[in-house]
Amino acid sequence: MSMLPQEIIRRKRNGESLEAADIAGFVRGLSDGSISEGQVAALAMAIWFSGMSRDETVALTLAMRDSGETLDWSHVGRPIVDKHSTGGVGDNVSLMLAPIVAACGLAVPMISGRGLGHTGGTLDKLESIPGYDIQPSAAVFRRTVDEIGCAIIGQTANLAPADKRLYAIRDVTATVDSVPLITASILSKKLAAGLQSLVLDVKVGNGSFMSDAGEAEVLARSLVDVANGAGVRTSALLTDMNEPLADAAGNALEIWNCLGFLKGEKSGTRLEAVVMAFAAEMLVAAGVAATPVEGEALARAALEKGAALDRFARMVHALGGPTDFVARPGQYLAAAPVILPVAAESDGYLQSCRTRDLGMAVIALGGGRAHPNDQIDHRVGFSALKPLGTWVAKGEPIAFVHAVDEDAAKRAQQEIRSIYTITDMQPEQRAPVLSRIT
């Protein structure tokens, strides 16, 4: 590093631009521990206040990507693609999307995360399946992507290790919500996975980290600009998170939902609209489809022929799960001891939902973490959630609670009743996919 760490911090504090070499040197010091926690925190706060240009953010992203190993898929012979979501409630899109596009000829080495705050994590959902290994050996990961076309696993220790240290420090210094830092964190891990194209699901609404559409668009644009600047063809869709996306929230319940989807039982839902939009986006980016309409037709065919369900079954088995998981999920997915309906308190339309609170209600049932080391109960959550705009009669269930005991179930019933508003005015229908950013 040509410059002392404190000089880099001072320049960023004063709003100056940093050279790529200085950013790379700082990230090396972050990785090898030669730069102190205090200095990392100070730079993170300086970036929070002063921001970073696109070139600086590209330099930070590439330096973090190069802090560990990068994967090479040149032997696979299929387009290497992935998708990332900024996180929501009942957002299990990845579980269906990876096998659908794998069945259409793409390769998806998907490195996913755990639940964060009120949002559910893809890895926690997959760990509902007995034996499923989210940290397979490199050989098993490669073989699964090679032979089946998709593998959904956790971040390996040697992919973008600088991000791990930086994230831990941001988490405790109120610097998580900086657009350049979020951008570099997300993309360093994705670029280390050796992708050729990437699609991003940036959530907007009361169940997302970005409730403001303007802020979400700024983040989406930053992600798209920086990823393209780093050499990966990338686009983003802004999608609505003012209600749960699936009709279930909770780990095993979202796996049941995924199986229902792959069997063709969720047609006409908001979830289907989002999954199909992303499948089309990925197939066009990879050059397999010429237009989104053609991409969606390919994705629908993979679903209807059962090819996507078959890929999911094979992926589960390849990563340590049961061979007959898809045929007999009830043998393997544990059910909660208490299941109670949540009755509507009046006639009317489901008008609105405090989606973030619904995510927190899953955590209160034991389905998420209050502290990083908490054990999750995969059985708990909510199912048969009715979409907003549905007319319900008094006493009709708007959801079912799955809980460990009667007391927890009754608390959750109360909570869900307060989270949904029922009025006699039918709400306007919001499109699940709001806009596209390239």
CB neighbour burial string for 92-130, b if at least 16 within 10 angstroms, e if fewer:
bbbbbbbbbbbbbebbbbbbbbbbeebbbbbbbbbbbbe
Q: Is 189 a catalytic residue?
A: yes
> Which listed residue (122, 144, 234, 235) is catalytic?
122
Q: Is 324 a catalytic residue?
A: no
Q: Please report the sign of the dihedral spanned by the C-alpha atoms of residue 163, residue 168, residue 169, residue 171.
A: positive
> Which listed residue (57, 67, 183, 185) is catalytic?
185
Q: Is 190 a catalytic residue?
A: yes
The CA-atom distances, in angstroms, between 311 and each of 2, 95, 286, 335 are: 50, 11, 19, 25
Q: Is 84 a catalytic residue?
A: yes
> Which listed residue (114, 164, 170, 266) is catalytic?
170
> Which listed residue (83, 125, 165, 379) is catalytic?
83
> Which listed residue (85, 183, 208, 383) is catalytic?
85
> Which listed residue (12, 190, 233, 378) is catalytic?
190
Q: Is 125 a catalytic residue?
A: no
Q: Is 235 a catalytic residue?
A: no
> Which listed residue (22, 66, 82, 163) is catalytic?
82
> Which listed residue (189, 354, 379, 386) is catalytic?
189
Cα 122 from Cα 209, distance rounded (Å): 17
Q: Is 203 a catalytic residue?
A: no
Q: Is 402 a catalytic residue?
A: no
| Residues 97, 275 contacting (CB under 8 angstroms) | yes
> Which listed residue (65, 84, 164, 203) is catalytic?
84
Q: Is 266 a catalytic residue?
A: no
Query: Known catalytic residues?
Result: 82-85, 122, 170, 185, 189-190
